[in-house]
Chain A
């Protein structure tokens, strides 16, 4: 949590956002049937589907306003002006470049790419190994410079995959080569690990961390995935090369 003064400054903005959000909730609710007929049912205000959202939206608006008022009462309008100035100054860029914020970007990008890009399209086991190897190696080395380099390397790979799927190369390549996207992901994992190894090979302590991290990154998805897939019979979000191989082993389909 932020310090108290910073918190009050942030409260002004979060209060405004919450107020606007409440207004949007009310606006959307006002489009719902209040006295009109819906599905053959003539509405009256007290059974309307809009009643509860209107109440909730109005309360969010009110509480947002109260929050802004409380925050402004504590810090005063001058501090609010200062924050506004800070938001349009170089200091904001400096803040966005700090290591702590970069760590946040790294975690957010990793999760966003996993959930919206890899998990729906690429074999679960490969997606999970990619996620874990990148995540663990990035943070386990505990060095700012390494984190930066590894993050940008991963980002470049992810951009490549976005283009690969958006342009439709996957469809073309997939018709020629089975499991094309899985093979590409496996290649990405290997290249990423090689790059990480190249960065740390001179440091024995980091080499040890590299080995441990890699073992965890490979073993954990297989333990978790096998429990869910074969014991709890949960079909994976995307099943590809590895699942086909595991199926063959599990059901003796050789």
Chain B
């Protein structure tokens, strides 16, 4: 009965949102803007969400969410245009799509590939939305049992896992980036005693480091510098014919779609890692399970399907920890968290009590955004790909101005600009030296949660760490953290290999003995 009631409320929300023509207009224009951000190499959906957050400042929360989620969904999908047509991924999320999408476009099947990615992306988002609705109450229920120790460990785990999985070079660098983010979160007056930390007497630093300027600086400025410094050129766009929804191919590949969606939702829900990893894992799985792995990389349609379903399924997956635990599942979700806080919504276990219909509302928006994305993709793809012809030297400086006005307009504080630029330049050097930026941003976001909960937990236990080992969830989180750290050291890997060798050798000896045994007998 309760499920039926929830489904009823959900569809009521969908119709309520869709009934307002202004909402439809915002939905379509935001999706379109997201697709453009995703399609233009050098721009990402994270940057799109970050820059557009400033524009939603004056909107009410549902409209702002409608706008930002549509950009997120559109941006994740839009990356496939550049991947398929010019072999340059519009976003990291669509890098795997380029492997087979571009060969398809070269064969003259670009329209087919775009049609398929459009339908696949919409299906991926819808499946992830179903997971968001069904899993959220369960996670919320468990999260309500969490105490300060669990929240501290969860925040710490989020930073560590994000550092581990997003580092393009050494894992240590990912962790360093995460801890640098945690340091930035320490700046300002502390939440419990209002003691000024690392403020150097500057009044503007008392309220701490604002998340949005850090996000815009960390993601926007390095992007502009990299693209223009390395004289990035957009190649020749492949021509394509009519775009078809490819329903036949979709129906034939339902098991693959479900598998890719599960991969996307699963990876999306792990804190800090996003669409790019989901797409690669899905691509790898599709190749390993295919009857014709040799066709991969030469224009295999199932490869394009798998990556696009997975990266868009990540959107809903990333919403699960974001809404229920207050921990962003991906970099654009981190930006959404900042936007939600600006609008007075604090995601976490209490969200179901403070805003009982909010998760349903987000799910309704995701459904509408995926449908709009499909419509825009099918009807306007030919027009949208024209943005690929704009030289980067023309639009990157404009992005620079958007970064500046976006950082300033949130809080109308020029200090945000003074902060945004050094963060951006330092982030550029960190990226050049192989440090990932996502953990740094996740660190800034989760820092206050980790700090406050650690001290609150110790206050309750009077300085004892024993509850970490006596509370089951804490213990599990603690063991996972220890394993995440220890598993990165060569000594652990050597030990594991030796152990495995011993176990398997013994097993094979036993097997030999078993085989030989009866013969001797």
Contacts and interface: CB of A to CB of B under 8 A. Distances in A.
A30 to B, nearest CB: 12
Interface stretch (B136-144, B317-325, B334-342, B411-419): B411-419
A94 B274 CA distance: 40
A57 B393 contact: no
Interface residues of A, number: 71
Contact of A7 (B180, B393, B434, B459): B434
A107 B193 contact: no
Nearest to A25: B183
A32 B459 contact: no
Contacts of B57: 232, 234
A86 interface: no
Contact of A32 (B195, B225, B463): B195
B230 A237 contact: no
A114 B397 CA distance: 12
B434 A220 contact: no
A41 interface: yes
A38 B418 contact: no
Interface stretch (A132-140, A163-171, A184-192): A132-140
Contacts, number: 176
A174 B232 CA distance: 43
Contacts of A64: 176
B95 to A, nearest CB: 15
Contact of B230 (A25, A29, A100): A100
A224 interface: yes
B55 A232 contact: yes
Contacts of B182: 52, 56
A103 B186 contact: no
A39 interface: yes
A52 B396 CA distance: 39
A223 B221 CA distance: 21
A172 B232 CA distance: 46
A135 B365 CA distance: 38
Contacts of B25: none
Contact of A1 (B397, B408, B424, B431): B431
B259 interface: no
Interface stretch (A43-51, A195-203, A240-248): A43-51
Given A60-B180, A67-B176, A104-B225, A33 B394 contact: no
A107 B401 CA distance: 13
Contacts of B401: 128, 131-132, 220-221, 224
Interface in A219-240: 220-221, 224-225, 227-228, 232-235, 237
Interface stretch (A76-84, A115-123, A148-156, A175-183): A115-123
Given A47-B459, A56-B179, A116-B418, A103 B229 contact: yes
9 contacts: A11-B433, A39-B193, A43-B193, A46-B458, A51-B454, A116-B421, A136-B394, A139-B228, A216-B394
